[in-house]
Structure 1
Amino acid sequence: MAVTSTVARSPAFHAPTFHTNQYSHRCRCRGSVSRRMRLKMSAAASGVTSVQTKPLTLTYLEANGWLWEVNGVRIIVDPILVGNLDFGVPWLFDGAKKTLKNFRLENLEELDCLLITQSLDDHCHKKTLDALSNIYQDLHVVSTPNAKPILETLFKEVTYIEPGQTTQLKGRNSSEIIIRASAGPVLGPPWQRPENGYFIQAQDPKFTLYYEPHCVYNKFLLEEEYADVVITPVIKQLLPAFTLVSGQEDAVELARLLKARYVVPMNNGELETKGLLSSILYADGTIDSFKALLSNALPHVQILEPSPGSPLDIPIPL
């Protein structure tokens, strides 16, 4: 249930007053599982390993998908875990994962929240969400309102937030985090509501994570913001005369604006693709070229590279 209330702001946030939806949620999912297990050691089947709880652990699930553990609160983000990414038109585009080919939803254990950034299939993947809603029937969802036509038929507890609005989440371990939406890309006419990026604020220990999967942002709105950890694509994905995903120098500027300590790069275009669109889609830049750009501009910022399926512990001071 979402309840409107006021959340006290941490110094880590510098935005003006914003709207808040506050809730506590406990997910009831099938079976009995250990709280200390974060991802099943089903390496032979899925390529995913497990680790003990840390303040911030990020597991990249390829494409735009992530599993985050933020002070023990487990959040699955934009997952594509059932079938390929094809937008319902596989003749136009069909993308398959390169590493986690055999990953199954059953490889996941406890989840506190599903976080959706955008309304299109590469973020709000209908095949995955259909299956996820069957396994985690009471899973709470935080999403852009743009995805409401898909989510409202699948999940009972959905909190929709627009850029500038927040919601508070309490995990099964009683840790609390604040999720605040920021403005992402506009997928349509300029008057349409933008999609979401997110600031995730943890309290004990205190740190802030920022994520936007297209490296699209409003520079003016981010000038007074802060994030310890920035997850962003760094390799551009381009069509003739159109940028699908930004990166490279824009990712460096994002790290500068947010005064980041760590950048976690993602390559959401690293898929096995076929179809008409794949023949004209191309990449610009590499991880190495981004490292060089970042080192020259912000030598104090550390890059932490994820490996699909392997939990990445972020060195947050306790």
Structure 2
Amino acid sequence: MYLTWFDSNSWLIEIGGKRILLDPWLVGSLVFGKIDWLFKGLKQTQRPIPEKIDLILLSQGLEDHAHPETLKQLDRTIPVVGSPNAAKVARQLGYTQVTALSHEETFAIDKSIEIKATPGSPIGPTLTENGYLLKELETGFTLYYEPHGYHPPSLKEAAPVDVVITPIIDLALPLVGPIIKGTKSALSVAKLLQPQVMLPTAAGGDVVFEGLLMFLLKAVGSADEFRSQLAENNLSTQVIEAKPGERFELPLKQRALV
């Protein structure tokens, strides 16, 4: 299994002989609702559009996961799998092969990969977006992704999971609290899934953020603090901090059969 991180929540996952582009933001700026004075993300290094993409996987319909400018640059015939909200965005942009996955539904790529949608981040009072479990059927290796740190109790049915991509720090607003939950939820999901490897997402990378919101957001936690928490709880999970744009192979081992 190979991964490439493209800043923020954007990943290229090479698994089961397929190339899956996850929540891509590769070109242009990141703005929510065209309100750039409130929040704007700017890439210091523009990432080339990856070639030979087999699937685009979208966890949410918001701009930092279904980035309109990036999706307009990609081939609209590439199959898209996403939350119902993200699938709506893809269809509006002209994608011709779009599958909406509700929670607990699955999607198979040939006979090599199974993708299962899990409950993810709540967006407002009535909408809960997706996390995903990606399973390589030949090896059994499984990857879990949730970009805001919301992990449902039902995940225990999937344990053990080999790779977890999720936040490990909090990003919080005064009076509101964490909008990205990492410090406690990452440890909880590590205990639940017993992953071989965890990789932080949603923060850092080769990106500059500006706008009023940046004066209010507070980051809490770090990779080193999280490693200490894992050690204190006798968890052997390895924390890998990916470098933006660099492809790397995950050091996974087959688990002993019980």
Structure 2 residue corresponding to 1:77, chosen from 2, 11, 22: 22
Structure 2 residue corresponding to 1:104, chosen from 26, 38, 48: 48
Structure 2 residue corresponding to 1:203, chosen from 130, 137, 144: 137
Gaps of 5+ in 1: 1-55
Aligned length: 249
Alignment match, 1:10: none
Q: Measure how far apart 1:72 and its partner are.
A: 1.9
Gaps of 5+ in 2: none
Mapped contact 2:171–2:217 kept (Cα < 8 A): yes
**1:225 is aligned to 2:170:** no
User: After TM superposition, what 4+ stretches of structure 1 lie above 4 angstroms from structure 2?
Assistant: none
Alignment match, 2:12: 67
Distance 2:188 2:88 in 1: 34
Query: Which TM-score applies when normalising by structure 1?
Result: 0.75
Mapped contact 1:208–1:229 kept (Cα < 8 A): yes
Identity across the alignment (%): 36
User: Cα deviation per residue 1:55-80 (whole Å; 9 max; x = unaligned)?
Assistant: x1111110110000002210000111
Mapped contact 1:249–1:290 kept (Cα < 8 A): no
Matched residue type, 1:129: L
**1:91 is aligned to 2:91:** no
Distance 1:246 1:269 in 2: 15
Structure 2 residue corresponding to 1:265, chosen from 190, 196, 200: 200
User: Cα deviation per residue 1:190-249 (whole Å; 9 max; x = unaligned)?
Assistant: xx231000000102222111000111112x212222211111111111111221111122
Distance 1:298 1:277 in 2: 38
Distance 1:316 1:72 in 2: 16
**1:160 is aligned to 2:100:** yes
Mapped contact 2:80–2:87 kept (Cα < 8 A): no
Equivalence map 1:267-282=2 (5 Å):
267-270=202-205, 271-282=207-218
Structure 2 residue corresponding to 1:292, chosen from 228, 231, 237: 228
Structure 1 residue corresponding to 2:65, chosen from 107, 123, 138: 123
Query: What secondary structure sits across from 2:14 in the alignment?
Result: strand
Moved more, 248-257 or 177-186: 248-257
Equivalence map 1:42-53=2 (5 Å):
none
Mapped contact 2:55–2:80 kept (Cα < 8 A): yes
**1:309 is aligned to 2:245:** yes
Query: What secondary structure sits across from 1:152 in the alignment?
Result: helix
Q: Measure how far apart 1:266 and its partner are.
A: 2.5
Alignment match, 1:53: none
Query: What secondary structure sits across from 2:71 in the alignment?
Result: helix
Distance 2:149 2:192 in 1: 13
Matched residue type, 1:97: K
User: Cα deviation per residue 1:229-283 (whole Å; 9 max; x = unaligned)?
Assistant: 1111111111112211111221011111112121122352553111111111110
Alignment match, 2:114: 178
Query: What secondary structure sits across from 1:295 in the alignment?
Result: helix
Alignment match, 1:244: 179
Query: Which TM-score applies when normalising by structure 2?
Result: 0.91
Distance 1:284 1:85 in 2: 23
Alignment match, 2:89: 150
Mapped contact 1:197–1:210 kept (Cα < 8 A): yes
